[in-house]
């Protein structure tokens, strides 16, 4: 494969690959690094890709393995938001993840977040959109850091259940 063809592959798949990596639980500031790592691995192993129509699933499997490796590395700075949610999403992502499935998952998640009470939405926004830790969120609310962590844990469970329900009912 020539550079020009690989550049086209990157342009075609970079946005969805970044969304997929974020969905797996990578911190927002690490998504680009992990996507770049995935494309480097893909470039090095491009000769193993038999069908370019399957480049999306192939790239997602590379990214999935990179996120799994991040979970295993305890001595390195963690680039994963939450181990339990990442492990759950990695397990779900082992199923064939088509572009449609990824889009449906994000649509369902967005709708589930919209249906959270205002306080819950603010906690999720602080943690996942603004990248704040529990202490920073606690400083903005009348909660302790421990209460923030507990509330986020409950919210992740609610969101996971909501997304799974929407996807199983086909009501994204």
The answer to whether the beta carbons of residues 26 and 80 sit under 8 Å apart is yes
Q: What does the alpha-carbon distance between residue 71 and residue 26 come to, in Å, rounded to a whole number?
A: 10
Q: Say if residue 29's pLDDT is above 60.
A: yes
The answer to whether the beta carbons of residues 34 and 66 sit under 8 Å apart is yes
Cα of first residue to Cα of last residue in the chain, in angstroms, is 38
Determine what percent of the chain is predicted with pLDDT higher than 70. Answer: 80
**Which positions ≥6 away from 109 have C-beta within 8 Å?**
23, 159, 163
Cut 0.75: pTM above it: no
Helix (H) or strand (E) holding 125: none
Chain-centroid distance, C-alpha 96: 16
- Residue 156 CB neighbours (<10 A): 19
Residue of 66, 55, 65 lying closest to 13 (CA atoms): 55
Q: What does the alpha-carbon distance between residue 152 and residue 145 come to, in Å, rounded to a whole number?
A: 11
Token pair listed for 33: 């690094």
Q: Say if residue 18's pLDDT is above 50.
A: yes
Q: How many angstroms separate the Cα of 15 from the Cα of each of 21, 33, 60, 86?
A: 10, 13, 12, 20
- List residues bridging with 80 in a β-sheet: 26
Per-residue pLDDT band for 147 (boundaries 50, 70, 90) equals very high
Per-residue pLDDT band for 75 (boundaries 50, 70, 90) equals very low
**What pLDDT sits at residue 36?**
94
């Amino acid at each position: 494969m020539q550079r020009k063809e690989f550049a086209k592959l990157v342009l075609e798949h970079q946005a969805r690959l970044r969304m997929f990596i974020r969905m797996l639980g990578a911190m927002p500031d690490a998504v680009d690094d992990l996507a770049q790592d995935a494309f480097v691995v893909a470039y090095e192993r491009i000769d193993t890709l038999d069908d370019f129509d399957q480049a999306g699933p192939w790239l997602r499997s590379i990214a999935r393995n990179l996120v799994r490796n991040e979970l295993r590395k305890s001595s390195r700075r963690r680039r994963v938001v939450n181990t339990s949610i990442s492990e759950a999403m990695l397990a779900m992502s082992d199923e064939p993840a088509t572009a449609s499935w990824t889009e449906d998952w994000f649509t369902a998640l967005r709708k589930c977040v919209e249906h959270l009470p205002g306080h819950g939405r603010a906690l999720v926004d602080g943690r996942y959109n603004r990248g704040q830790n529990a202490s920073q969120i606690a400083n903005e609310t009348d909660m302790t850091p421990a209460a923030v962590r507990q509330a986020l844990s409950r919210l992740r469970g609610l969101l996971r259940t909501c997304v799974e329900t929407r996807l199983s009912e086909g009501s994204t």
